[in-house]
Chain A
Amino acid sequence: MARLNDSAQWIILMGFLVSFAIFFLAVVINQSTVVGQTTAESVIEFPKSDIRDIRAVALETAGIADEEDRRIVVGDITSIAQQRTHAIVSLHFVPAADSRMQVTIHYNNGVTEYDEVWISP
Protein backbone atom coordinates (compact mmCIF):
# COMPACT_ATOMS: atom_id res chain seq x y z
CA MET A 1 0.00 0.00 0.00
CA ALA A 2 2.93 2.36 0.47
CA ARG A 3 3.79 2.25 -3.21
CA LEU A 4 2.17 5.08 -5.24
CA ASN A 5 -0.04 3.75 -8.03
CA ASP A 6 0.57 6.12 -10.99
CA SER A 7 -0.79 4.12 -13.93
CA ALA A 8 -3.74 6.57 -14.42
CA GLN A 9 -1.43 9.41 -15.22
CA TRP A 10 -0.94 8.02 -18.73
CA ILE A 11 -4.66 7.96 -19.33
CA ILE A 12 -5.05 11.56 -18.23
CA LEU A 13 -2.08 12.67 -20.32
CA MET A 14 -3.41 10.95 -23.44
CA GLY A 15 -6.83 12.46 -22.76
CA PHE A 16 -5.31 15.92 -22.74
CA LEU A 17 -3.38 15.20 -25.91
CA VAL A 18 -6.43 14.00 -27.81
CA SER A 19 -8.63 16.84 -26.62
CA PHE A 20 -6.05 19.42 -27.69
CA ALA A 21 -5.78 17.77 -31.10
CA ILE A 22 -9.55 17.84 -31.55
CA PHE A 23 -9.71 21.45 -30.37
CA PHE A 24 -7.02 22.45 -32.86
CA LEU A 25 -8.86 20.75 -35.73
CA ALA A 26 -12.08 22.45 -34.68
CA VAL A 27 -10.34 25.84 -34.89
CA VAL A 28 -9.12 25.00 -38.41
CA ILE A 29 -12.63 24.05 -39.55
CA ASN A 30 -14.04 27.18 -37.94
CA GLN A 31 -11.56 29.42 -39.78
CA SER A 32 -12.28 27.86 -43.16
CA THR A 33 -15.65 29.61 -43.42
CA VAL A 34 -14.08 33.06 -43.32
CA VAL A 35 -11.13 32.21 -45.54
CA GLY A 36 -11.04 34.53 -48.50
CA GLN A 37 -13.23 37.16 -46.87
CA THR A 38 -10.49 39.78 -46.67
CA THR A 39 -9.17 38.92 -50.11
CA ALA A 40 -12.66 39.14 -51.56
CA GLU A 41 -13.28 42.48 -49.92
CA SER A 42 -10.10 44.02 -51.24
CA VAL A 43 -10.80 42.65 -54.71
CA ILE A 44 -14.31 44.10 -54.72
CA GLU A 45 -13.12 47.44 -53.36
CA PHE A 46 -10.54 47.96 -56.09
CA PRO A 47 -12.28 49.98 -58.84
CA LYS A 48 -10.45 48.48 -61.81
CA SER A 49 -13.26 49.06 -64.32
CA ASP A 50 -13.85 52.62 -63.16
CA ILE A 51 -10.17 53.55 -63.53
CA ARG A 52 -9.86 51.95 -66.97
CA ASP A 53 -13.06 53.69 -68.01
CA ILE A 54 -11.88 57.12 -66.85
CA ARG A 55 -8.53 56.53 -68.54
CA ALA A 56 -10.19 55.61 -71.85
CA VAL A 57 -12.47 58.64 -71.86
CA ALA A 58 -9.58 60.94 -70.87
CA LEU A 59 -7.52 59.72 -73.81
CA GLU A 60 -10.52 60.16 -76.09
CA THR A 61 -11.05 63.69 -74.77
CA ALA A 62 -7.42 64.50 -75.60
CA GLY A 63 -8.38 64.00 -79.24
CA ILE A 64 -10.92 66.85 -79.14
CA ALA A 65 -9.20 69.76 -80.83
CA ASP A 66 -11.18 72.72 -79.50
CA GLU A 67 -10.20 73.77 -75.98
CA GLU A 68 -13.67 75.05 -75.05
CA ASP A 69 -15.27 71.77 -76.17
CA ARG A 70 -12.74 69.87 -74.10
CA ARG A 71 -13.51 72.00 -71.05
CA ILE A 72 -17.22 71.16 -71.32
CA VAL A 73 -16.51 67.42 -71.65
CA VAL A 74 -14.16 67.47 -68.66
CA GLY A 75 -16.81 69.30 -66.64
CA ASP A 76 -19.32 66.59 -67.55
CA ILE A 77 -16.93 63.81 -66.54
CA THR A 78 -16.03 65.47 -63.23
CA SER A 79 -19.59 66.09 -62.09
CA ILE A 80 -21.08 62.79 -63.28
CA ALA A 81 -18.18 60.81 -61.74
CA GLN A 82 -18.72 62.54 -58.43
CA GLN A 83 -22.43 61.79 -58.34
CA ARG A 84 -22.63 58.34 -59.97
CA THR A 85 -19.34 56.65 -59.03
CA HIS A 86 -18.55 58.66 -55.86
CA ALA A 87 -15.09 59.46 -57.12
CA ILE A 88 -13.12 62.67 -57.41
CA VAL A 89 -11.79 62.89 -60.94
CA SER A 90 -9.67 65.64 -62.36
CA LEU A 91 -8.28 65.80 -65.88
CA HIS A 92 -5.80 68.37 -67.16
CA PHE A 93 -4.73 68.81 -70.74
CA VAL A 94 -1.53 70.68 -71.51
CA PRO A 95 -0.18 70.97 -75.05
CA ALA A 96 3.34 69.51 -75.23
CA ALA A 97 6.06 69.70 -77.83
CA ASP A 98 5.54 68.42 -81.40
CA SER A 99 1.74 69.01 -81.21
CA ARG A 100 1.38 66.32 -78.57
CA MET A 101 -0.99 66.50 -75.67
CA GLN A 102 -0.05 65.85 -72.05
CA VAL A 103 -2.94 64.44 -70.01
CA THR A 104 -2.83 64.40 -66.22
CA ILE A 105 -5.38 62.00 -64.73
CA HIS A 106 -6.27 61.98 -61.06
CA TYR A 107 -8.80 59.56 -59.59
CA ASN A 108 -9.74 59.09 -55.94
CA ASN A 109 -12.79 57.29 -54.61
CA GLY A 110 -11.80 57.48 -50.95
CA VAL A 111 -10.21 54.03 -50.91
CA THR A 112 -8.14 53.89 -54.06
CA GLU A 113 -6.13 56.74 -55.53
CA TYR A 114 -4.81 56.71 -59.08
CA ASP A 115 -2.57 59.23 -60.83
CA GLU A 116 -1.20 59.14 -64.32
CA VAL A 117 0.51 61.46 -66.75
CA TRP A 118 -0.02 60.40 -70.33
CA ILE A 119 1.48 61.99 -73.42
CA SER A 120 -0.19 61.41 -76.75
CA PRO A 121 2.04 59.77 -79.39
Chain B
Amino acid sequence: MVGEGAQLYTIEGVAAAMIMLLTAYFVVNATAVYTAGDTHINDMQLEILGKDVLDMMDTRPNGTVEKSPLRLIIEEDRGDDFRTAFVTMANNRTVADADRINFAAQYFYNNTGTIGSHPLSSSRDLTGGEHAVRATKWVIVNMDLDGNGIKNRAVLVEVVLWRD
Protein backbone atom coordinates (compact mmCIF):
# COMPACT_ATOMS: atom_id res chain seq x y z
CA MET B 1 0.00 0.00 0.00
CA VAL B 2 1.50 3.31 -1.12
CA GLY B 3 1.12 6.09 1.45
CA GLU B 4 -0.44 9.19 -0.19
CA GLY B 5 -0.61 11.44 2.86
CA ALA B 6 2.17 13.70 1.52
CA GLN B 7 0.40 14.55 -1.76
CA LEU B 8 -1.69 17.26 -0.16
CA TYR B 9 1.42 18.93 1.25
CA THR B 10 3.20 18.71 -2.07
CA ILE B 11 0.33 20.35 -3.99
CA GLU B 12 0.07 23.04 -1.35
CA GLY B 13 3.79 23.66 -1.61
CA VAL B 14 3.62 23.95 -5.40
CA ALA B 15 0.69 26.35 -5.21
CA ALA B 16 2.45 28.50 -2.61
CA ALA B 17 5.62 28.60 -4.68
CA MET B 18 3.69 29.69 -7.79
CA ILE B 19 1.91 32.45 -5.88
CA MET B 20 5.22 33.71 -4.48
CA LEU B 21 6.89 33.63 -7.88
CA LEU B 22 3.98 35.49 -9.50
CA THR B 23 4.03 38.09 -6.73
CA ALA B 24 7.73 38.65 -7.26
CA TYR B 25 7.12 38.90 -11.02
CA PHE B 26 4.41 41.54 -10.57
CA VAL B 27 6.50 43.56 -8.14
CA VAL B 28 9.53 43.60 -10.43
CA ASN B 29 7.40 44.47 -13.45
CA ALA B 30 5.27 47.13 -11.79
CA THR B 31 7.47 50.11 -12.70
CA ALA B 32 8.23 49.04 -16.27
CA VAL B 33 4.90 47.96 -17.71
CA TYR B 34 4.79 49.51 -21.19
CA THR B 35 1.46 48.58 -22.68
CA ALA B 36 0.27 49.05 -26.23
CA GLY B 37 -1.77 52.07 -25.15
CA ASP B 38 1.28 53.91 -23.81
CA THR B 39 2.79 54.74 -27.21
CA HIS B 40 0.55 57.80 -27.45
CA ILE B 41 2.55 59.51 -24.70
CA ASN B 42 5.63 59.90 -26.93
CA ASP B 43 3.45 61.15 -29.78
CA MET B 44 1.74 63.71 -27.60
CA GLN B 45 5.04 64.98 -26.22
CA LEU B 46 6.34 65.47 -29.76
CA GLU B 47 3.11 67.18 -30.80
CA ILE B 48 3.23 69.57 -27.84
CA LEU B 49 6.87 70.32 -28.58
CA GLY B 50 5.99 71.25 -32.16
CA LYS B 51 3.08 73.34 -30.98
CA ASP B 52 5.30 75.15 -28.47
CA VAL B 53 7.88 75.93 -31.15
CA LEU B 54 5.17 77.40 -33.37
CA ASP B 55 3.82 79.41 -30.42
CA MET B 56 7.29 80.77 -29.75
CA MET B 57 7.75 81.72 -33.40
CA ASP B 58 4.39 83.50 -33.36
CA THR B 59 5.26 85.60 -30.32
CA ARG B 60 5.80 89.28 -31.00
CA PRO B 61 9.24 90.55 -29.97
CA ASN B 62 9.12 92.02 -26.43
CA GLY B 63 5.35 92.16 -26.45
CA THR B 64 5.27 95.03 -28.93
CA VAL B 65 2.75 95.55 -31.72
CA GLU B 66 5.34 94.52 -34.31
CA LYS B 67 4.69 91.46 -36.45
CA SER B 68 5.75 88.09 -35.09
CA PRO B 69 8.64 86.22 -36.76
CA LEU B 70 6.26 83.53 -38.05
CA ARG B 71 3.99 86.14 -39.61
CA LEU B 72 6.94 87.85 -41.32
CA ILE B 73 8.19 84.47 -42.60
CA ILE B 74 4.81 83.79 -44.24
CA GLU B 75 4.31 87.31 -45.59
CA GLU B 76 7.82 87.53 -47.03
CA ASP B 77 7.99 83.82 -47.98
CA ARG B 78 11.25 83.17 -46.15
CA GLY B 79 11.21 79.39 -45.85
CA ASP B 80 14.91 79.18 -44.99
CA ASP B 81 14.36 81.32 -41.89
CA PHE B 82 11.53 79.00 -40.87
CA ARG B 83 13.81 75.98 -41.19
CA THR B 84 16.60 77.60 -39.18
CA ALA B 85 14.28 78.72 -36.40
CA PHE B 86 12.29 75.50 -36.20
CA VAL B 87 15.25 73.11 -36.30
CA THR B 88 17.12 75.15 -33.69
CA MET B 89 14.22 75.42 -31.28
CA ALA B 90 12.93 71.87 -31.68
CA ASN B 91 16.30 70.19 -31.34
CA ASN B 92 17.85 72.25 -28.54
CA ARG B 93 18.24 70.29 -25.35
CA THR B 94 19.79 70.90 -21.98
CA VAL B 95 22.16 68.01 -22.63
CA ALA B 96 25.08 68.41 -25.00
CA ASP B 97 23.86 66.43 -28.01
CA ALA B 98 20.97 67.78 -30.07
CA ASP B 99 17.67 65.98 -30.63
CA ARG B 100 16.88 64.34 -33.99
CA ILE B 101 13.59 66.00 -34.89
CA ASN B 102 12.80 66.59 -38.54
CA PHE B 103 9.86 68.42 -40.01
CA ALA B 104 7.94 69.39 -43.13
CA ALA B 105 5.95 72.62 -43.00
CA GLN B 106 3.34 74.24 -45.19
CA TYR B 107 0.51 76.66 -44.75
CA PHE B 108 -3.06 76.50 -45.99
CA TYR B 109 -5.00 79.49 -47.23
CA ASN B 110 -8.45 80.19 -48.56
CA ASN B 111 -8.43 81.11 -52.24
CA THR B 112 -12.04 82.16 -52.92
CA GLY B 113 -13.53 78.98 -51.45
CA THR B 114 -10.76 76.57 -52.45
CA ILE B 115 -8.15 75.66 -49.87
CA GLY B 116 -4.70 76.08 -51.32
CA SER B 117 -1.39 75.08 -49.78
CA HIS B 118 1.99 76.73 -49.94
CA PRO B 119 5.15 74.92 -48.81
CA LEU B 120 7.29 76.73 -46.26
CA SER B 121 10.26 74.42 -45.90
CA SER B 122 11.28 71.02 -44.67
CA SER B 123 14.39 69.56 -43.10
CA ARG B 124 13.94 66.32 -45.01
CA ASP B 125 11.59 64.92 -47.65
CA LEU B 126 8.70 62.88 -46.30
CA THR B 127 8.94 59.28 -47.47
CA GLY B 128 5.79 58.05 -45.75
CA GLY B 129 7.59 55.68 -43.43
CA GLU B 130 8.00 58.17 -40.59
CA HIS B 131 5.99 57.95 -37.42
CA ALA B 132 4.95 61.57 -37.68
CA VAL B 133 2.64 63.84 -35.70
CA ARG B 134 1.01 67.11 -36.73
CA ALA B 135 1.19 70.53 -35.09
CA THR B 136 -0.84 73.48 -36.35
CA LYS B 137 -1.02 77.19 -35.72
CA TRP B 138 -3.44 79.83 -36.95
CA VAL B 139 -1.74 83.02 -38.10
CA ILE B 140 -3.35 86.24 -39.25
CA VAL B 141 -1.29 87.71 -42.04
CA ASN B 142 -1.55 90.79 -44.20
CA MET B 143 -1.08 89.67 -47.80
CA ASP B 144 -2.69 89.05 -51.16
CA LEU B 145 -3.80 85.41 -51.29
CA ASP B 146 -6.57 85.43 -53.89
CA GLY B 147 -5.66 88.31 -56.20
CA ASN B 148 -8.01 90.78 -54.51
CA GLY B 149 -5.33 92.96 -52.98
CA ILE B 150 -3.47 92.93 -49.69
CA LYS B 151 -5.85 92.19 -46.84
CA ASN B 152 -5.89 90.66 -43.37
CA ARG B 153 -6.21 86.92 -43.88
CA ALA B 154 -6.10 83.85 -41.67
CA VAL B 155 -3.82 80.99 -42.69
CA LEU B 156 -3.19 77.66 -41.00
CA VAL B 157 0.45 76.68 -40.60
CA GLU B 158 0.78 72.92 -40.49
CA VAL B 159 3.98 71.20 -39.45
CA VAL B 160 4.46 67.47 -39.73
CA LEU B 161 7.28 66.45 -37.42
CA TRP B 162 8.95 63.20 -36.55
CA ARG B 163 12.03 61.93 -34.78
CA ASP B 164 14.45 59.59 -36.49
* A1 CB contacts on chain B under 8 angstroms: none
Q: Is the Cβ of A34 less than 8 Å from the Cβ of B138?
A: no
Q: Is the Cβ of A34 less than 8 Å from the Cβ of B36?
A: yes
What sequence of 0s and 1s flags, for each residue 13-28 of chain B, a beta carbon within 8 Å of any chain A beta carbon? 0110011001000000
B113 at the interface (CB under 8 A from A): yes
A73 at the interface (CB under 8 A from B): yes
Which of B81-89, B96-104, B124-132, B149-157 lies on the face that meets chain A?
A: B149-157
Total contacting residues, chain B, CB less than 8 A:
39
A93 to B12, CA, bound (A): 76
Are A14 and B8 also in contact (CB < 8 A) when A37-B36, A61-B154 are? yes
Contact for A43 among B4, B15, B40, B51, CB less than 8 A: B40
Are A64 and B152 also in contact (CB < 8 A) when A34-B35, A76-B110 are? yes
A10 to B138, CA, bound (A): 73
Q: Which B-chain residue is minimally distant from A25 (CB atoms)? A: B22
Q: Which A-chain residue is minimally distant from B38 (CB atoms)? A: A36
Q: Is the Cβ of A32 less than 8 Å from the Cβ of B156?
A: no
Q: Is the interface of A mostly helix, strand, loop or mixed?
A: helix
B33 at the interface (CB under 8 A from A): yes
Q: Is the Cβ of A43 less than 8 Å from the Cβ of B138?
A: no
Q: Is the Cβ of B155 less than 8 Å from the Cβ of A76?
A: yes
Q: Which B-chain residue is minimally distant from A68 (CB atoms)? A: B151
* B51 CB contacts on chain A under 8 angstroms: 49
* A56 CB contacts on chain B under 8 angstroms: 138
Contact for B4 among A7, A21, A73, A76, CB less than 8 A: A7
B95 at the interface (CB under 8 A from A): no
Q: Is the Cβ of A40 less than 8 Å from the Cβ of B109?
A: no
* A70 CB contacts on chain B under 8 angstroms: 152
Q: Which B-chain residue is minimally distant from A8 (CB atoms)? A: B4
Taking the closest CB of chain A, its distance from the CB of B37, in whole angstroms, is 4
A69 to B150, CA, bound (A): 11
A3 at the interface (CB under 8 A from B): no
Could you list 16 further interchain pairs (A-B, Cβ under 8 angstroms) beyond the known A34-B37, A49-B135?
A11-B4, A21-B15, A22-B18, A37-B35, A37-B36, A37-B37, A41-B37, A44-B44, A53-B136, A53-B137, A61-B154, A69-B152, A76-B109, A76-B153, A76-B155, A83-B108
